[in-house]
Chains A and B, each alone.
Chain A
Amino acid sequence: MTHPQQQAVLTAAGIHKRFGALVVLDAVDFTMAADEAVGIVGPNGAGKTTLLSVLSGAFPPSSGKVSFKGDDVTTLTATQRCRLGLVRTHQVPKPFSGMTTFENVFVAASHGAGLGRDEAYEEALGSLTLCGMLSVANRRAETLGLLDRKRLELARALAARPTLLLLDEIGGGLTDGEAGELVDTIKELRRRKIGIVWIEHIVHILLQVAERLICMDAGRIIADGDPQTVMADPQVIHAYLGGGPK
């Protein structure tokens, strides 16, 4: 493990997650500092999204402990973790489809960030502007296309004022050009000192942001460190491309 010396903002220790007999996370240990940008890669079924769900509080781990900003948050709900500054986006966008784009983001600003009305307006407009969504602010979210739904996931999470943002395949299904726009937005978040954990299959866009890369396979972390080193790791290549027994 090559995590920096700064105070860890998020720590997951000995995380196991089982769904019935299926072991999805098998003794995962993970630590990151507040200003890090960590990318997570791995083949389908490696347990990446499950790890993100355990970190964000969507469901509890079968065993293990999650700490955020020095406090044990293992038993806290997603709502409580969001209010502490640990916010996620969803791989399959989950817009509030009957509400407008602005209203979607306003909910996060007023409940997630706990802002009063006027401040929440500012915050919501700010994140819509940052994500380039101001022109569709009054559209019902159900009428948005995939790119806008992905952007909305990001804008909504941002309006909750995260200290740490968990991104689940925010670039998935987009063209290179579209994904590039999202990368620009995420780079801006880095300038604002928001920590990032980003799961992504499209490695070349991930590497524009990630300073550290983790590779998961079969519920375990098999490599963790400098992106170039991790991508060159024989185990990582094996996990992705398969091959005979090691």
Chain B
Amino acid sequence: MSAASTSPVIERGTATSRIAAVAVAVIIALLAIAPQFLSAGAVDRMTALFIYVILAAMWNALAGFGGLVSVGQQVFFGLGAYFAIRLADAGLKPFASLFVSAIVVGVVSVPLSLFMLRLRNGEFAIGMWVIAALTHLLVNLDRLVQGETGTSLISLNVYDAGTRRMTIYWLALASMTALLAMLFGLLRGSTGAAIRAIRDNEDAAASVGVRVTGTKRLLFVLAAFGIGIAGALWLATSITFQPKTYFNVQWTAYMIFMVLVGGIGTFEGAILGALVFFLIETWFGGTGVWYLIGLGATAVLFSLFLPRGLWGTVEERFGLRLLPVGYRVRLPGNPTAPADDGTAPSPRQSTQHQEKA
């Protein structure tokens, strides 16, 4: 296996994915300057989109890559907001409190993982919901929160509305970018391979040397941290904190919707799903109960007819990978056709994409 010309080559990216990487950088740069051209309302909506992307990406990492399906992720969303209120009340600068709060959420998730990760599959999913409901009740006991009356992140009022809106927009954009980059790095590395192995067969993963519990814990804590940031950012945009709004299971329902529609277990899918959800909400959000019925119907239709979601289907049909986290083996003496992968149509066109990642 030493002669370079005769040994197979491991590819991480494709020609398309290198273009996609540049496109992603351009899009983020455009988003960074976008507020100058957008109305105040549009800036707020875009902030919401960034938060949705964080939520979808985190749930997808947990469930789609790690196999940890949770219906209680709203616990971290609520705690992200709650700790921000608490920290701001203790005198921390409001914007700093948003991120310190997310770190606290991450720290809290460590002891939680000690017993939750002993549960498997459905037990874990429902167990997380129980934890969320329990946490909701505990937060209600805090006098600062005043039960379901709620409270506000009052200290944000020192900034004028325009500055506040811009700052939150940029913080949300930066958080989304950083979290996506972090997730991509993790999932693309050897830990990412271990995460997927655990999802597919926990016992087999252990038998080939994967540290199952430690790896699951890392993912669990990262997802808690990311969703904590999302909750804190949501608090910053809406100012008011009512426990029942933040600890509502609808947040996890949205995450599941975005990931299922976008394509579970694909990095691109979660982002696409968040975008789809955002558009549906923008166009139909005002239609009240029909909006919710529409969301539910869409989810049912997708799980019946497109179980791999939008991106999963595109990937399967066209072999298109924009942000691949996997590995492809290119065999020697056959530069244009990789070993049969059973999915992509054989690339008969002899485009010169022989670069290594």
Contact = CB atoms under 8 A, between A and B. Distances in A.
Q: Contact residue range for chain B?
A: 20 to 34
Interface stretch (B20-28, B109-117, B178-186, B199-207): B199-207
B327 A100 contact: yes
Given A90-B203, A99-B193, A125-B10, 19 more contacts: A56-B207, A58-B206, A90-B207, A95-B201, A97-B201, A99-B196, A99-B326, A100-B326, A100-B341, A102-B10, A111-B209, A114-B209, A120-B190, A125-B7, A135-B331, A136-B339, A138-B329, A138-B338, A138-B339
Interface string B306-339: 0000000000000000000011110100000011
A156 to B, nearest CB: 6
Listed residue (B193, B209, B265, B326) with the most chain A CB atoms within 10 angstroms of its CB: B209
17 contacts: A58-B207, A79-B209, A79-B212, A87-B208, A94-B201, A96-B197, A100-B328, A102-B327, A107-B205, A121-B10, A125-B329, A134-B339, A138-B338, A138-B342, A139-B341, A143-B342, A157-B207
A56 B212 CA distance: 16
A240 B293 CA distance: 63
Given A100-B341, A111-B194, A138-B340, A79 B329 contact: no
A12 to B, nearest CB: 18
Interface in A126-142: 126, 129, 134-141
A87 B207 CA distance: 7
Interface string B170-198: 00000000000000000000100110110
B92 interface: no
Interface string B211-241: 1100000000000000000000000000000
B326 A103 contact: yes
Q: Contact residue range for chain A?
A: 35 or more
B68 to A, nearest CB: 14
A138 B331 CA distance: 10
Contacts of B341: 100, 138-140
Nearest to B215: A111
Contact of B200 (A77, A83, A95, A120): A95
Contacts of B331: 134-135, 137
Interface string A146-189: 00000000001101100000000000000000000000000000
Given A102-B329, A139-B342, A111 B210 contact: yes
B338 A79 contact: no
Contacts of A113: 209
Contact of A79 (B193, B211, B340, B343): B211
B3 interface: no
Contact of B193 (A95, A107, A114, A122): A107
Interface in A50-91: 56, 58, 77-79, 82-83, 87-88, 90
B8 interface: yes
What's the dominant secondary structure at chain A's contact region? helix
A129 B212 CA distance: 28
B1 interface: yes
A39 interface: no
A229 B231 CA distance: 71
A114 B339 CA distance: 27
Contacts of B209: 79, 82-83, 87, 108, 111-114, 160
Interface in A19-37: none
A11 interface: no
A196 to B, nearest CB: 16
A149 to B, nearest CB: 11
Sorted nearest first, the 4 A-B pairs with minimum C-beta distance are A112-B209, A138-B341, A94-B204, A96-B200
A159 B341 CA distance: 21
A90 B211 contact: no
B317 to A, nearest CB: 15
A188 B265 CA distance: 38
Given A87-B208, A103-B327, A160-B208, A135 B190 contact: no
Nearest to B265: A98
A138 B344 CA distance: 10
Nearest to A77: B206
A98 B203 contact: no
Contacts of A156: 204, 208
A103 B196 contact: yes
A90 B208 CA distance: 11
A238 interface: no
A193 interface: no
Given A106-B193, A134-B331, A96 B342 contact: no
A157 B200 contact: no
B206 A96 contact: no
B163 to A, nearest CB: 45
Given A79-B210, A99-B193, A100-B327, A94 B203 contact: yes
Given A78-B206, A140-B343, A96 B201 contact: yes
A120 to B, nearest CB: 7
